Structure 1
């Protein structure tokens, strides 16, 4: 059988939390409760001192009890028992699984507070959680950390105190809650309340009023559209080029300065030719 497998039933495998100074006394009690069973007590420390303690505490000879260390237990495959009592936890979970290979029925593990962290790798190999049983008189005391008062710790208040505190937040002078504000669903009323009286309603097509209201300086708006003066022919320059009073090109006057006709430039510049029809006729000829 592999050292990482165990045939012990979950109900026959237990963990007993116990401090170090009470472990030997607990082992002695477990032996006295199971005298009819063949017992092996295994430890990773000096097995001789453990055996001497048990011999001194028991007046009767411990014929069915063997105290060994991990090295002796692993080397001797003939060591088999009904009840395996582990006085401590080995550093590696595989070593504990090797211990379980030497029991046929039950296994008990004694753990102190610092050894609890070594239990998780063992449970991982087993694929289950080992049930923990506390024996009265042998448990270790868990010291709870005192709760420090923090400024962020919320105060425990009754419902009436919460209401009084809420009233003070609303109105400190009277101690009464402020009246609820009534909201209206009418959008027109909402706009009317926030509408400025000094602001004039402008229409999209009313350009004169818009310019008049926003021309604060009283001067003519430089961006306003002004009436252009007629473009007059003034003569020719030294090179014989026509001179006009305004910005005007050859589109309105001829080179000699005379006014062009109203129909100039002509809208119809020539006959339109349909390129698609020409291509079709050429394809037919081919």
Structure 2
């Protein structure tokens, strides 16, 4: 089945409370008098054909519509919404001029899958006299009422003679103009990378904003060519609070003055390794009494 050619503004939702739905459909039928109207419902039509009987009016359920694939109408009025969004799209394809939905609070939960399948939201328009107490229409009505109250309050304040003599508060502070050299105009974006501008005489790449033209770590004076070619020694950088010299009492034992290495004894003053007694000066192993000189085990005195 080919898609319907109707315009987006002709696809509308008319929200209303469920007890007044039949009355709203009669209003829509009268407004589109003279056109062929199809009223579709997801359940059995029941007594709906008798309620909306007319010359160019047809009331069918989705099951009955499936049996008549060639049926077309100028105005489609959905009495309710089906459980499946694809079923509503088959209804929508039958309309030639208008596709209208009478939406109550129960049908609102089935609207999102239809809009998702349709690829866009459907405009909701509240018919005057059928304002619902749910959904987007309530929020729009509250916004309209708040806007009307605000406009009424502004008009009343404008007519108050006490407010006529009041002058609008103006900002008397002088406008500050940015200078080219203040650093703001040349400031780069947070995510931007420094731009490559070339290489120096040593072949080192130079980036924009990193020219090393000044001694920023010392006093901010301009750097000479000799200073630019060499790195600034760390000892020339300023000392911060954590770098202050500590007193002798606060120093760690490792930080205190150590004895120079020259005051220690030279390694040559120690006795040479060869001056130790040779192993041959010890008594030979054979000088010990042999094991046989010990008294036999049986020669000991008896325990008694």
TM-score (norm 2): 0.47
Specify the structure having the higher radius of gyration (Cα).
1
| Bigger RCO (CA 8 Å, 6+ sep) | 1
